[in-house]
Amino acid sequence: MIGLVIIFIALIILYLGVILFAGATFVKISLFALDKLAVFIASWYYTHHYFSVKFSSGYAIYFWDVLAAILAVIIYSALFKMIHRKLGLIGKILNFAISFLSSMTVYCVLVNGFITKETDYFLPLLNHDIANQAVNYIIITIIALVVWKRREEFLEEKEEFKEYYIVEKSDE
């Protein structure tokens, strides 16, 4: 009997661990890749409605949808890295804007879905509405700064690991 209770408690702990891990992973992906997900979904939608259904049939429709969506994400990522590398401050501002929108989206979804379960998208921290919104936007900005800093570090890591070789012309 005691062995059964121990197994039951272990299964509950394992279940909660898996749920927390999945939730944390979802939040991380949402914070750091929401822009790429939006590009993927938008290109899938427009490819499906304006190209795939007109030029293919059956399961080939979904092949073209996925192919176009992956290609759009690759192009978006390359353009974003190029803008960040070539335009400096504008790239950093664009990266912060994307980080802020991602943070605000994830924050509002989590608050609405798991905490308030009402029509509110902000935590009810204060009784005054405007002050409450200001505090929530400050929290979102702090989260966005953390996400922005991590995204900046990721973009700079990619540039640091590039190796450049100077090749001299030989007489052979």
pLDDT in tens, 11-49: 888 888 888 887 777 777 777 888 888 899 899 899 888
In a domain, 105, yes or no: yes
Structure tokens at 155: 């973009």
In a domain, 20, yes or no: no
Counting every residue, how long is the chain? 172
In a domain, 121, yes or no: yes
pTM over 0.75, yes/no: no
Q: Is the dihedral of CA 64, 65, 66, 68 positive or negative?
A: positive
In a domain, 47, yes or no: yes
In a domain, 118, yes or no: yes
Distances (CA, A) of 156 to 71, 88, 94, 159: 23, 12, 15, 5
User: Are 56 and 34 a contacting pair, CB within 8 Å?
Assistant: no
How many distinct structural domains can be found in the chain? 1
- Give the residue-averaged pLDDT of 146-156: 86
- 3-state SS class at 58: coil
In a domain, 13, yes or no: no
Q: Determine the pLDDT at residue 83.
A: 87
Distance CA 111, CA 120 (A): 8
Sequential DSSP letters for 7-70: HHHHHHHHHHHHHHHHHHHHHHHHHHHHHHHHHHHHHHHHHIIIIIHHH--TTHHHHHHHHHHH
In a domain, 108, yes or no: yes
In a domain, 28, yes or no: no
Domain range for 153 is: 35-171
Tell whether the model's pLDDT for residue 67 goes beyond 80: yes
Tell whether the model's pLDDT for residue 166 goes beyond 60: yes
Q: Determine the pLDDT at residue 131.
A: 92
User: Are 61 and 47 a contacting pair, CB within 8 Å?
Assistant: no
- In degrees, rounded to 5, the angle at the alpha carbon of residue 69 between the alpha carbons of residues 63 and 70 is 90
Question: What are 85-115's pLDDT values in tens digits?
Answer: 888 889 899 989 999 998 898 888 888 877 7
